[in-house]
């Protein structure tokens, strides 16, 4: 009889950032996914958006890029994203996507999209101070700004 083996999911470290020139204005997002010696850099943007939408979008696109369920560390300089997922999301869902003050949750479309991706992975969330010399954060800041550039004329 064969022995039962447990497959350990791959460990992925993800850095994400969003940027906006004007708020609202042209925006971009960037993400770096690292696993062992492999690194994937992705970025994109929108012509008219907000910084918070780009911060959430960076995480969404990074999680979409994963090809299988994974053990994931997500590093963001956005307390809005980190606290949104770890502190506020469950309450928003229970309250029909309304805040504690009964207002509609801003960016609910993106929060719902992100929420649908979360169960596929084991995720730990980490906040890093932006523009403070952290190499992963500095790299995704550059990628996010690259996402903005195509909309600047």
> Does 152 have pLDDT greater than 90?
no
Give backbone dihedrals phi and psi of 101, rounded to 5 degrees, phi first: -90, 15
Q: Has residue 109 been placed in a domain?
A: yes
Tell me whether residue 55 is one of the annotated catalytic residues: yes
Q: Has residue 4 been placed in a domain?
A: no
Number of domains in the chain: 1
Residue from 43, 77, 84, 147 carrying the catalytic annotation: 77
Residue from 28, 43, 46, 55 carrying the catalytic annotation: 55
Provide the whole-model pTM. Answer: 0.94
Tell me whether residue 77 is one of the annotated catalytic residues: yes
pLDDT band at 6 (very low <50, low <70, confident <90, very high): confident
Tell me whether residue 131 is one of the annotated catalytic residues: yes
Q: Has residue 3 been placed in a domain?
A: no
> Helix 51-64 and helix 135-149: axis angle, to 10°?
110
What percentage of the chain has pLDDT greater than the value 90? Answer: 90
Residue from 22, 126, 131, 149 carrying the catalytic annotation: 131
> Does 2 have pLDDT greater than 70?
no
The per-residue pLDDT for range 46-99, each reduced to its tens digit, is 999 999 999 999 999 999 999 999 999 999 999 999 999 999 999 999 999 999
- Residue 33's domain comprises 11-149
Q: Has residue 103 been placed in a domain?
A: yes
CATH code for the domain in which residue 41 is found? 3.30.420.10
- Write the secondary structure of 65-89 as one string of H (helix), E (strand) and C (coil): CCCCCCEEEEEECCHHHHHHHHHHH
> Does 1 have pLDDT greater than 60?
no
Tell me whether residue 18 is one of the annotated catalytic residues: yes
């Amino acid at each position: 009889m064969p022995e039962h083996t447990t497959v350990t999911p791959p460990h992925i470290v993800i850095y994400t950032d969003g940027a906006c020139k004007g708020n609202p204005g042209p925006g971009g997002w960037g993400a770096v996914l690292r696993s062992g010696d492999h690194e994937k850099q992705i970025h994109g943007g929108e012509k008219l958006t907000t910084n918070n939408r780009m911060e959430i979008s960076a995480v969404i696109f990074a999680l979409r890029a994963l090809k299988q369920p994974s053990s994931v560390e997500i590093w963001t300089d956005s307390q809005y994203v980190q606290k949104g997922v770890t502190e506020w999301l469950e309450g928003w869902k229970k309250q029909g996507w309304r805040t504690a003050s009964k207002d509609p949750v801003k960016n609910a479309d993106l929060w719902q999209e992100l929420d649908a991706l979360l169960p596929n992975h084991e995720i730990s969330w980490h906040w890093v101070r932006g523009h403070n010399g952290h190499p992963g954060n500095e790299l995704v800041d550059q990628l996010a700004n690259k996402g903005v550039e195509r909309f600047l004329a």
